[in-house]
Amino acid sequence: MSRQPHIVIEARIRPASTGRPVDRLLEYLPEIDPETHYTVLLKPDDTWTTSAANITVRHTRFPIFSFSPLNQLLYARELRRLKPDLVFFTLTGQQPLGYFGRQITLTHDLTMYRFVRAGRLPGWIHHIRMVLYRLLMWAAHRKAQKIIVPSDYVKEDLSAFHRFTTHKIVRIYESSEPPISGKGKRPTGVGNSFILHVGSPLPHKNIPRLIEALKELHTTHPNLQLVLAGKREYFFEQLQRQIDASPARDAIIAPGFVSDAELKWLYEQAEAYVLPSESEGFGLPGLEAMAHGCPLVSSNATCLPEVYGDAAQYFDPLDVTDMAKQIGSVLGDKDLRKDLVERGHDRLKQFSWKTMATETVEVYRSVLPD
């Protein structure tokens, strides 16, 4: 096109952890694509700003997900008023049903399909919302000219679930953040021998089985602690009941939200980072553990072997005994831990935020009119 293209980026998902790719995309856009005018849509309380001449920041009051017909219509009207050549929705399901302009969507995974209880609402309300959510997902995938996914696993999963998407899907790998700088700080209650997990204990994260594995590990590693770092939200309250009932409860440390200094110390001092998840779209936490030189012991489910390659010790996430065995093999072998750390550093070289941003812009260009 002869005039400057105008692309709207729906970025209200940030600054959540799943919004990390959006943050890095916005960071690299001025360098990679200075000839395109971008409008970035943010939540009303988002303070993100930029000095880039080709990026305009706009705050919108509409909720990220809304099943209200009025909100759907009004948000579609707001998008039309911006007169974009393309809208990039960074979370599938954000698309208002009444918007039919040129669009690309990012589908991180299909966890909400596979794990119906990965939500907070009880009973029939939750099930009604899930039906509506699936409708929004179906409509978003139908209307999108391209669908970006973070792994080949998600590409295959989505193709099987919505067969009409196969020709639209583009896999673009994400990356990890650099190690946290500065001096580390030991969180209260954490000893010298521990395994680490960071994040919210959503149902598909499989933390209950990790707690069961800790009980088995105590037969050979009686002083081992399990540190569960992350905000104490809804799902942690549910998990707390299992912790209280566990014979290993005194060895489970849940410090809640930790500072960067504390997180740095945990990554660097942990004997292993354990990722027991039953489902992931990419697996950023494992890469972040690698970046800090922490040996990774991971579930072999979904995309994780694809992303981690030979830089992790794998287990079946549904088999507590296998989980305990593989964690124990890493704890008991200093050379194996060292090897996993070295392989992790090599594996990280396969991923780059700048490459992710460049490939995303290439997808934009493939959709824009000539």
- For 20-71, the DSSP string reads HHHHHHHHHHHHH-TTSEEEEEE-TT-------TTEEEEE--S-SS---HHH
Predicted confidence (pLDDT) per residue in 317-368, tens digit: 999 999 999 999 999 999 999 999 999 999 999 999 999 999 999 999 999 9
- 253-265: b (≥16 Cβ within 10 Å) or e: bbbeebeebbbbb
Q: Please give the mean pLDDT across all residues of the chain.
A: 92
Grouping H, G, I as helix, E, B as strand and the rest as coil, residue 255 is strand
Q: Which of 58-72, 225-239, 315-329 has the lowest mean pLDDT?
A: 58-72
Q: Which residue has the tokens 């994780």?
A: 304
**CATH code reported for the domain at 6-175+352-367:** 3.40.50.2000
Q: CA–CA separation, 280 vs 283, rounded Å? A: 6
| Shared fold status for 6-175+352-367 and 194-348 | yes
Q: 175 is written with which tokens?
A: 């990356």
Flag whether pLDDT at 237 surpasses 90.
Answer: no
Q: What is the pLDDT averaged over residues 80-107?
A: 93
- Residue 62 is predicted with a pLDDT of 79
- Residue 294 is predicted with a pLDDT of 99
Q: 343 is written with which tokens?
A: 């392989």
- Length of the chain equals 370
Confidence band of 112 (pLDDT split at 50, 70, 90): confident
Q: Where in the chain are the domains?
A: 6-175+352-367, 194-348
Fold of domain 194-348: Rossmann fold (3.40.50)
Q: What is the pLDDT averaged over residues 135-147?
A: 92
The pTM (predicted TM-score) of the whole model is: 0.93
With contact defined as beta carbons under 8 Å apart, do 296 and 313 qualify? yes
Q: How far is CA 173 from the centre of its chain?
A: 12
